[in-house]
Amino acid sequence: MLELYHSGLTTCSKQVRHCLREKGLPYKNRYVELWRYENISPDYLKLNPNGVVPTLVHDGTPIINSFCINEYIEDAFPEPPLRPADLKERARMRYWAWTADEIHLQLARLTHARMLQQSVNELSPEDQKIMLDHTPVPDKRERWRVLTKGGYSTEQLDAALDNVMFVFGRMEQEISRRGPWLAGATFSLGDISMLAIVHRISEIHPGRLDRSAFPHLMGWWDRNMARPAAQFVYATGTDEVPKRPPKKSIAGIFEFRL
């Protein structure tokens, strides 16, 4: 029995939801409301001591980190394969899955500025303190602390976007040389991981996804988004991507159970 604790259209949640959907695997949908900081509630921290989504629970055992979860799904449920049979393609698949994690930190800055800063501003000082006190990973706590102090500078955000665009340039080159997929001939976990990154930029900096600058990357984007699994994963208004609930104090999360 599979249960997925996730938060809909957050980057890492998208990666695992997409993998499960490509496999056609049924799972229990456990939506974690980040807006109520359920991810740092005591019950969730028992599943995932880093306090991040997603977590896959398979027959009672939690598996954490989106890249590790997707490799686990591939190990446990190998059909249809999302790891290329050719070992050099497989190494490229892992390179791109790794690159998605590597660039995630830069992407998070951009995401926080555009999608989270306002929500952190609206927290009461008491709720900000609860949030900071219960965020277990020091680096993540520091990033949240920056948001409580007004957020990143324009210079920092420009630098983050430069890094993302450098990776997109590398994707353009790789797809033009080897395509149609990032690893080569085979659609793989590497495509799933990077699609979540490109999708976020399509939400917050759509002008950067320029079809004349990135013809091969955008062809790859079209091929990905045409897949039925991607159409479900990236849709809004489904059970897995509910509307944002009304704002409430986050103090209550330490009383209710997930």
Q: Sheet holding 2-6: strands in order across?
A: 28-31, 2-6, 55-58, 61-64
- For the bound state, the minimum distance from the C-beta of residue 166 to a copy of itself, rounded and expressed in Å, comes to 5
Q: Which residues contribute to the site for a copy of itself (CB under 8 A)?
A: 49, 58, 61, 63-65, 67-69, 71-72, 75-76, 87-88, 90-91, 94-95, 98, 101-102, 105-106, 136-139, 142, 159, 162-163, 166, 170
* Nearer to a copy of itself (CB atom), residue 75 or residue 122: 75
Other C-beta atoms lying within 10 Å of the C-beta of residue 115: 14
- For the bound state, the minimum distance from the C-beta of residue 253 to a copy of itself, rounded and expressed in Å, comes to 22
What are the beta bridge partners of residue 57? 3, 62
Residues 96 and 120: their CA atoms lie apart, in Å, by 32
* Nearer to a copy of itself (CB atom), residue 122 or residue 139: 139
- For the bound state, the minimum distance from the C-beta of residue 237 to a copy of itself, rounded and expressed in Å, comes to 32
* Nearer to a copy of itself (CB atom), residue 137 or residue 213: 137
Q: Residue 121, CB half-sphere, CA atoms under 13 Å: how many?
A: 9
Decide the pairing of beta strands 61-64 and 55-58: antiparallel
Q: Which residue has the tokens 């998208």?
A: 14
- For the bound state, the minimum distance from the C-beta of residue 157 to a copy of itself, rounded and expressed in Å, comes to 13
* Nearer to a copy of itself (CB atom), residue 119 or residue 176: 176
